[in-house]
Chains A and B, each alone.
Chain A
Amino acid sequence: MELIMEQMPIVIRSLNSGFLQTLKLFFVTLVGSVPLGLVIAFGSMSRFKPLNCLTRIFVWIIRGTPLMIQLMIVFYFPGLVFHNQIWRGMDGRFTAAAVAFIINYACYFSVIYRGGIQGVPVGQEEAGLVLGMTKRQIFFKVKLLQMIKRIVPPMSNEIITLVKDTSLATTIAVQEIIWAGESFAKGSQGISGAIWPLFFTAVYYLVFSGVLTVLLGWLERKLEYFR
């Protein structure tokens, strides 16, 4: 116990800077995948058959394979196949991870969006049309909020999952919090063979997902004024 107290300041500093990378990956993924998901959703609902087919196959592949494999493919593929490692240095690793995460999460989001869009009854659109509204007005004034209400609960689920999925980036040596925790088991900054820092990372995830749960719950309640 005494030893742990001694190691604590060094470990915490290291975990904090690792968690900063975790947070960065989390937010970059969200910012990229939320709009990209919408593009994929529209692709998968397109009446143009080839586009429709292609997007659905793409979503199937991404959702049907582990994110960890996707990370490795994105990271190693350019170097192995084209003998051109485009992901150079720490920033390169982070970017590769972000690309894999954004694509992966965009596909999951696209399916949620599609459900939300198709879940709004046709009658809503027809009522708007009969009242002389334009398609644009119907989308923004009538359907959008109903879609958002529908997608918030499943999106919350995915977002909480994303918090923990960021840990997969450690497999391509992005220096996020798991990587930082593990380093003390391998030996770093004069500490080696310490397994507790790795266990301690769980606290970070727990607190962060707790904060998100509260925020998303608040949003869900905000939308409860209508049904």
Chain B
Amino acid sequence: MAILEVEHISKNFEDTEVLKDISFSLEKGEVLSIIGSSGSGKTTFLRCLNFLEQPDTGVIRVGGETLFDASVRQSQQEAEIRRKRLHFGLVFQSFNLFPQYTALGNVMLARELLAKEQPDYKARKKEIYQEIEEEAKALLRQMGLGERMENYPHQLSGGQCQRVAIARALALKPDILCFDEPTSALDPELTGEVLKVIKELADKKTTMIIVTHEMAFAHDVASKVIFMDEGMILEQGTPQEVFEHTQQERTKQFLSRYTNG
């Protein structure tokens, strides 16, 4: 069964249609790359999945559970939305690390706050804290940041910041991890180190949705590629289908800029 099902999502900002009838599904362990020019709605789509925007129509289901259905008037309780959000993780283009916390603090903060809601929190406080700390440290080591745990974001390079942000998102064990142009703010060298950890996550069968302009990366890592243009899915399929046996003229035109440049 598909872990993520998206049906007929559309979204308007005042008069402009940003998303038009987006539908697709994703299997557990798959990596989906969304490509397309700026302003094609890729980011807005990720924001809809993470409940930062609310779609005007459509349904979003994760593991068979309907998280969002525009046709049903839902009581948009904050607690409810928070719970649903935890199915997804989001890594931002601009990292958005919390500057007053160390790398380790950034990874631990949300988990600690969530743990306080557990019924047995008071009784097992120390234990829970240690557990969270151990997991956070393991994640940072996995990101190659074992030596950087006590550093503050301003003491880290952009690539290191982004890897902290990835660890921070992973700490909550989301079903689906989303990346919004994770390397667009980085120079080519730093881009490489971030793509490397994303590739490692893909090898571990982490379900991911990656909005990216790194075509070679999308080609190598993704199991599925979607090309978006003007808020619509113009083409979707395996990397081979989209990159090598391109059907649509618009897609060819878009991809030619990357192969020629």
Contact = CB atoms under 8 A, between A and B. Distances in A.
B78 A123 contact: no
A123 B172 contact: no
B82 A126 contact: no
A129 B152 contact: no
Contacts of A85: none
Nearest to A149: B100
Contact of B86 (A128, A132, A134, A145): A132
B109 A123 contact: no
Interface in A136-153: 137, 141-142, 145-146, 149
A48 interface: no
Given A132-B86, A134-B82, A141-B109, A227 B154 contact: yes
B231 interface: no
26 contacts: A121-B96, A123-B92, A123-B96, A124-B96, A126-B96, A127-B92, A129-B52, A130-B52, A130-B85, A130-B88, A131-B109, A131-B169, A132-B85, A132-B86, A132-B110, A132-B114, A132-B172, A133-B109, A134-B78, A134-B79, A225-B152, A226-B99, A226-B100, A226-B152, A226-B154, A227-B154
Contact of B110 (A126, A133, A135, A146): A133
A126 B98 CA distance: 11
B55 interface: no
Contacts of A141: 109, 113
With most chain A CB atoms within 10 A of its CB, the pick from B83, B90, B110, B153 is B110
B94 A126 contact: no
Given A130-B169, A133-B110, 19 more contacts: A121-B96, A126-B92, A127-B96, A127-B97, A129-B50, A129-B52, A130-B50, A130-B52, A130-B88, A130-B89, A131-B109, A132-B110, A133-B109, A133-B113, A134-B79, A145-B100, A225-B100, A225-B152, A226-B152
B82 A132 contact: yes
B168 interface: yes
Contacts of B169: 130-131
A146 B101 CA distance: 11
Interface in B21-40: none
Contacts of B114: 132
A124 B98 contact: yes
A126 B114 CA distance: 17
Nearest to B97: A127
Contacts of A145: 100
Nearest to A120: B99
A106 B42 CA distance: 45
